[in-house]
């Protein structure tokens, strides 16, 4: 941890585990969906044929170096990365989720970072509007919020 190669080596290690032992666990427990981004994983399962606590125990027995934890769906919704996934009778709804620790601080214009890094937040907010199937009300709220952030940015 802390070395420049840490993220690359951890990604290689996790991919190796996914293609070997984790793949077998997903089949064993009839997991319907497995989605990972870096160290965050979303597992979709059917409560009728999968005991998620057994899955968690088996995941934690894969290697002593990794500790998996469980955040369960509550009120038919769960947060994953920067979205809230909600289930209803019609299907899935998505909302933007902001972790309590999230701030609107971005790289200042006068920093020595490359311009691509400075404009990444703007691209992210703009692209997020089109990526998620948001209700018109939520889209407007997000758009208004993003626009405020963009407007208060120094000119690049």
Closest CA to 134 of 98, 88, 87, 92: 92
Closest CA to 125 of 136, 115, 139: 139
* Per-residue confidence band for 1, with pLDDT thresholds at 50, 70 and 90: low
Closest CA to 154 of 119, 116, 129: 119
CA 100 to chain centre: 15
Report the DSSP pairing between strands 91-96 and 83-88.
antiparallel
**What are residue 43's DSSP bridge partners?**
34
pLDDT in tens, 112-144: 777 777 777 677 777 776 777 777 777 777 666
**Which residues have a Cβ under 8 Å from the Cβ of 94 and sit 6 or more positions away?**
83, 84, 85, 86, 132, 133, 134
Q: Where are the domains of the chain?
A: 6-60, 77-151
pLDDT in tens, 24-68: 999 999 998 998 888 888 898 888 989 999 999 999 999 888 888
Find out whether 95 and 119 touch, Cβ atoms under 8 Å. Answer: no
């Amino acid at each position: 941890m802390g070395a420049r190669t840490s993220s690359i080596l951890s990604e290689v290690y996790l991919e190796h585990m996914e293609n070997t032992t984790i793949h077998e666990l997903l089949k064993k427990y009839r997991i319907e969906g497995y989605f990972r981004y870096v160290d965050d994983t979303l597992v979709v399962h059917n409560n009728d044929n999968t005991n998620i606590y057994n899955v968690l125990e088996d995941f934690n027995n894969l290697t002593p170096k990794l500790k998996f934890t469980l955040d369960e769906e509550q009120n038919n919704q769960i947060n994953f990365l920067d979205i809230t996934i909600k289930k209803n009778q019609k299907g899935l709804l998505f909302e933007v989720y902001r972790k309590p620790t999230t701030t609107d601080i971005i790289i200042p214009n006068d920093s020595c970072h490359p311009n691509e890094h400075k404009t990444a937040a703007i691209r992210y907010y703009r692209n997020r509007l089109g990526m998620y199937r948001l209700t018109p009300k939520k889209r407007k709220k997000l758009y208004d919020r993003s626009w405020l952030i963009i407007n208060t940015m120094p000119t690049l």
